[in-house]
Amino acid sequence: MSDCIFCKIVSGEIPSTNVYKDEQVTAFRDINPAAPTHILIVPNRHIDSVNFMTTKDEPLIGRLFSIAKQLAAQEGIAESGYRLIVNTNADAGQAVFHIHLHLLGGRQLTTLG
């Protein structure tokens, strides 16, 4: 999508600190980190949100979690713990409408909600 920030990050049009990239997925550091490790893991193909995923996207969305696991180990937070978050629409505070998994860790995370 031409006006999507994360599509522009995937294509390299907007600079980002990438920590992972393959033909399906890109992961980069959040511009406004909420924890010592705050990485966004996104599919290279645009999907607005969980509300727009279909059953054919299940392997791709599953892959986001596999990469999160790999990056958590790489960041040294696999044992201390981490949180994976997917915000959807206004009540969850979704700001960027390109589906993404937040990987947060490196400190004690407070309660949800």
Query: Which of 38, 46, 100, 102 is the catalytic position?
Result: 100
Q: Is position 112 an interface residue for ligand DGP (rule: CB under 6 A)?
A: no
> What span, in angstroms and rounded, lies between the C-alpha atoms of 26 and 22?
7
Contact stretch for ligand DGP (CB under 6 A) within 19-27, 59-67, 94-102, 103-111: 94-102
How far is CA 49 from its chain centroid? 12
Q: Is position 28 an interface residue for ligand DGP (rule: CB under 6 A)?
A: yes
What dihedral angle (degrees, nearest 10) is formed by the CA atoms of 41, 46, 50, 51?
Answer: 170
98 is catalytic: no
Which parts of the chain fold into alpha helices (H)? 5-11, 58-75, 89-92
Provide, rounded to whole angstroms, the least separation between the CB of residue 95 and ligand DGP: 4
Q: Is position 5 an interface residue for ligand DGP (rule: CB under 6 A)?
A: yes
> 33 or 55: whose CB is closer to ligand DGP?
33
> 44 or 87: whose CB is closer to ligand DGP?
87
> What span, in angstroms and rounded, lies between the C-alpha atoms of 101 and 58?
14
Q: What are the residue numbers of the active site?
A: 100
